[in-house]
Structure 1
Amino acid sequence: MLYHAIKFYDLDRDSLTIEIELPGVYHNDYHYKIRVQEKYYSARFISRNRYDHDVFFELTDHVLEEQMEYIEFLNTHGIPFMRPKSTSMSKRFAEIIWHGVDYRFLLFDWIEGKHITHCTESVSFKFGKIARKFHDVSFNYNCTLPKESYIVGSMKMISILEKVLLTANITDLNQSLLQEYIILAKEKIDCAYTSKLEFIMQSDLNPLNILWDNEENIVGVVDFEHIGYTDRIEGLAWLIKWYSRTKGIESHDVSPELTASLLLGYSAKGFLRQEERTRLSSLLWITGCLNWGFVNKTLKILENGDQNHLAGHLTIFRERGLKLSSLISE
């Protein structure tokens, strides 16, 4: 598949070597580190059929074009983003069909670095600085991608849970527990809602998309498929959730000190007024307790009829919500 895809570029495909197939790739996509003519590249196959729901926007050819253009903009404004390589026909990606599956193939210069998932005050502060620079650079950037609050996606997740709950074969107690959780989630959504949204082009800046050198300097951002408009405060909630973790990306342990360090690096004091802090606290609950990870795990428990695990599952996420909400003092 890679040998076929490389033919669309001004590269000697006979010198192609696959260094590694990178793990943790979802949505029927593939990601490789490859070497061609003694140079390293990030090679990505993006499927056209990525989701079986409508919670996230579709990654159409038009969206990909807009994302690549934005990446080029970031690279010319001092943001260490991944650098795309155009095809021999000066296109931003190649289209291939492999075993009946339609892919878009993208090639980027490989960025060497490491992930830091156990955050420290220094890491959170430094990330806060680059995140603020990222947002400031992007503030006046305009494109045709849709501007939609994350709350819209949250309501779609609520609808998915409510629909499944109607037909779920579970005890009255579990039915009541899940219904109470849904009511709590709706309350958080109401508190997080505002009509005064400040949309900025952003990317998924979670720790697995950020590369650091050995001196803890950020040397690369390696996400593009999540680029789109996000409200500044909603985006900030996700950054706090990710960079307040002390024990890794899967951990629910978070630190108010790390949150303070990130906000200090971000220079949030200048615009984070009381009403934004109240809203941010509810958004933090939503990022951790009404994300696709929670919804997907809940659906699997219900589909498997795993009565004994539902209560514990909901308790874990209720406790997580309390920790996340308390990171921001109102």
Structure 2
Amino acid sequence: MQRRHFLLFDIMPIIGTAAAFAFLVVRPFGFLEFGLLFAMWLLTGLGVTVGYHRLFTHRTFKAAPWVEGLLAILGSMAGQGPVVSWVALHRRHHEYSDREGDPHSPNLSGDGLRGALRGLAHSHFLWMRRHEYPNVVHYAPDLIKNRALVRIARLYYYWVALGLALPAALGGLISLSWTGAISGLLWGGFVRMFVLEHIVWAINSFLHMFGTRPYESRENSHNGGVFALVSLGESWHNNHHAFPESPSFGLNWYRLDPGFWLIKTFAVFGLAWDLKVPSEARMAAKRISATSDSTPRAA
């Protein structure tokens, strides 16, 4: 199953991205392609960061059942695994972060340049070929008790297919052409999946080796503030590891965090509540550096 998933959803987007560039000979990249790529990236990316990560993995807030279902479906459309197994893997990552047992640490592959390169390759991409599958009964007992989430997880492959079919259908309908449908599939489907995957994987790999480190945490997490918008707030990674219960990864209003903006919007309309943002006193107690988080540097 791991090999099949790796081939379908990690290798296939690379092939699809190459095909998208080849298809430019037939249909140039335009507003339609950009719109579908951006919209599908934003929707599925928010499904991952707000749904999979902040809501289901860390329970940083509570949400209305239909919001939970929508976020789980959008996260599934990203093609990064069913919600229950994704949560189990990520909770194991936090339990063993940068120690033996962490499924994707870049810091366990030896010393020197060779070890660093091997670690980056492993944590960014290669670990997904074969890895220990965490026991979901142990790591995600709350999710397997939620029948709606379990049903969504069982339909995972259908949600991924929907994430490819939707931009293809919109591309065809908007352009009234078969070239628009294929272009929508390629740019709103495969390229979108490729871009989002590598953004998420870079959090696991590069930000466990490089960046700023303002807060105490027992692993090697770092912030990469310049990537805050494109990562939808995920690149405040040291902040997140220091305060994993917080729905805000930026922690301060001036640190861009689109994922938290969506959660706050849900809260304004009564669709999300019990946001566990750490107090100023707690953040001050963990602060170890006054270094600006805006420019990544070597660890």
Which protein, 1 or 2, shows the higher relative CO under an 8 Å CA cutoff with sep ≥ 6?
2
Higher strand proportion, which one? 1
TM-score range, shorter chain: under 0.3
TM-score (normalizing by structure 1): 0.24
TM-score (normalizing by structure 2): 0.26
